[in-house]
Structure 1
Amino acid sequence: MTTTQTTTLSATRIGHACQLIEFGDFRVLTDPWFTQKATYYPGEPVAASVATLGRIDALVISHEHYDHCDLDALVSGGFDLTTPVIGPGTVADIARAKGFSDVRVVEAWESATVGDLTVTATPGKHGVHEVTFVLQSGGRTVFFGGDSLRVPELDQIPDRFGKIDLAILPTNGLCIRPMNYEQVVMDAEQAAALTAVLKPAMAVPHHYAFHSGQLADRMLTLGDQDPRHYADEVARLAPEVEVRLVLPGTRVVVP
């Protein structure tokens, strides 16, 4: 893997936590979600269909929840099932069952490579087993936070990986009402505190527009759908970090 910083780095938010991250011409798709089910509403337009994604060189998945691991949509949409899939063992089992032929298992602090891309799983915590990721290629580094809570181990990332070019973090602080409002996703302030530790050149929030439907929002889940709360907290805690609030389909180039 090269160590120069000349590789172009960009990210296009497809929707929710589904991001198209491009290291030069190497294209990585994260946490795919393209369909809708009862109590799972994207809350915003999905910027692409499976058929219009174009070539994907690697698929990186943080955990098995439907809104992050919509493999049925990929299969029915004609996605190339030889594309390398990288994720924890729980995801790997599902991917193999759906017909994916190149599945790489990574747990916290383990790495896999696809071409010049190195994917390192980093710790995460959610309602099910989850990892977060550091993606590196061409001298560029991206932290992808899936929809994890903030865990103390993530503070090790700068020491382990050096400069972070882009941090993509969940911000809605999702809570489960029937579970005594147990929090399962980091909120805006927690995400901003992690951003202050990571010190990326740019930060992009995601995982905030999702909702559970008019009835279930009142009975099942509670979350913050306004990413400006994250931007405000970063301005307070890490004013040197550029925050971009990105509509689905907007390609952001990282300096």
Structure 2
Amino acid sequence: MLTVTRVVHASVLLDFGGARILTDPWFSERRFYYQGEPRGIATAADLPELAGIVISHEHYDHCDLDALIEYPDRTVPFAVVPGLAAKVRAAGFANVTELAPWQTTRLGPVAVTAAPAKHGVPEVTFVLRADGHTVYFGADTLRIAELDEVARRFPDIDLALLPINGLRIRPLLNHQVVMDAAEAADLTRALRPRLSVPIHYAFTSGPIGDRVMTKSDRNRPDLYLDAAADLAPDTKVHILDPGISLTV
């Protein structure tokens, strides 16, 4: 059995028949980084026992190591983007494997394969497989052609977790760094998952930051729901509130 629980933003708890994987942990806030929705799990200390943690890139809202140190098991294994292992080890977690695209490791019984990504810093996305289920975790990548290869290598995806807010950086002439709802729907068409859950859409930089730093389609999962219905009608889309568990 596979269940998915959104924590907040791109932080999701996946439960493969009792083997739980946490994606891109974010358990705190600071200036210009606000979650925009209540966390489904309040702190890292409240997490259940984990089989592993995956981290797509080093941005604070995906790699909140200062808050993650409240998780009591320092032996929990990590799979992370290349270049991040030293930072994770410095936070007190010694069991870290870096994965470049198409490399695979195991976090307990869960096979984790890195896939391509494109963002403002080095990033990977992940395919996770265990207990007869396959999940694609899209972190906050742009929609790039290389992601079509995921569908070729993993033709039976049960669940896709896809970012949708189309985040742009205003000081960089509105440079886009995250796929938007229409682009996520196009990726859904390519991946053909049975179920898709949108992520990465409630984030806000705050009243000032949203005007001068970032621009996004904030809190509009409905845009993805409508676009996916047109481009990927065979995929069921479920908008999942934080803290609510869904059985896939």
Give 1:159's aligned residue.
152
RMSD: 0.8
Give 2:30's aligned residue.
37
- Cα distance, 1:156 vs structure 2: 1.1
Q: CA–CA distance in 2 between the matches of 1:144 and 1:93?
A: 23
2:155–2:191: 8 Å Cα contact kept in structure 1? Answer: no
Q: CA–CA distance in 2 between the matches of 1:252 and 1:36?
A: 26
- Cα distance, 1:116 vs structure 2: 2.0
- Cα distance, 1:124 vs structure 2: 0.2
Give 2:49's aligned residue.
55
2:5–2:12: 8 Å Cα contact kept in structure 1? Answer: yes
Q: After superposition, where does 1:238-249 map in structure 2 within 5 Å?
A: 238-249=232-243
Give the aligned residue type for 1:248.
P
Give the aligned residue type for 1:74.
L
Q: CA–CA distance in 1 between the matches of 2:155 and 2:233?
A: 20
Does residue 8 of structure 2 align to residue 15 of structure 1?
Answer: yes
Does residue 184 of structure 2 align to residue 183 of structure 1?
Answer: no
Q: Aligned to 1:200, which of 193, 200, 203?
A: 193
Give 1:4's aligned residue.
none
- Cα distance, 1:238 vs structure 2: 0.9
1:63–1:90: 8 Å Cα contact kept in structure 2? Answer: no
1:149–1:186: 8 Å Cα contact kept in structure 2? Answer: yes
Give 1:119's aligned residue.
112
Q: CA–CA distance in 2 between the matches of 1:215 and 1:121?
A: 36
2:78–2:107: 8 Å Cα contact kept in structure 1? Answer: no
Give the aligned residue type for 1:212.
S
Match of 1:215, SS?
Answer: helix
Give 2:244's aligned residue.
250
Q: CA–CA distance in 1 between the matches of 2:49 and 2:154?
A: 28
Give 1:88's aligned residue.
81
Sequence identity (%): 50
Q: Aligned to 2:141, which of 143, 148, 155?
A: 148
How many residues are treated as equivalent by the alignment? 246
Give the aligned residue type for 2:6.
R
Q: CA–CA distance in 2 between the matches of 1:182 and 1:98?
A: 32
Q: CA–CA distance in 1 between the matches of 2:50 and 2:106?
A: 15
With the length of structure 2 as denominator, give the TM-score of the two structures.
0.97
Q: Which runs of 5+ in 2 are unaligned?
A: none
- Cα distance, 1:114 vs structure 2: 2.3
- Cα distance, 1:74 vs structure 2: 1.1
Give 2:59's aligned residue.
65
1:28–1:59: 8 Å Cα contact kept in structure 2? Answer: yes
Match of 1:41, SS?
Answer: coil
Q: After superposition, where does 1:216-235 map in structure 2 within 5 Å?
A: 216-225=209-218, 226-235=220-229
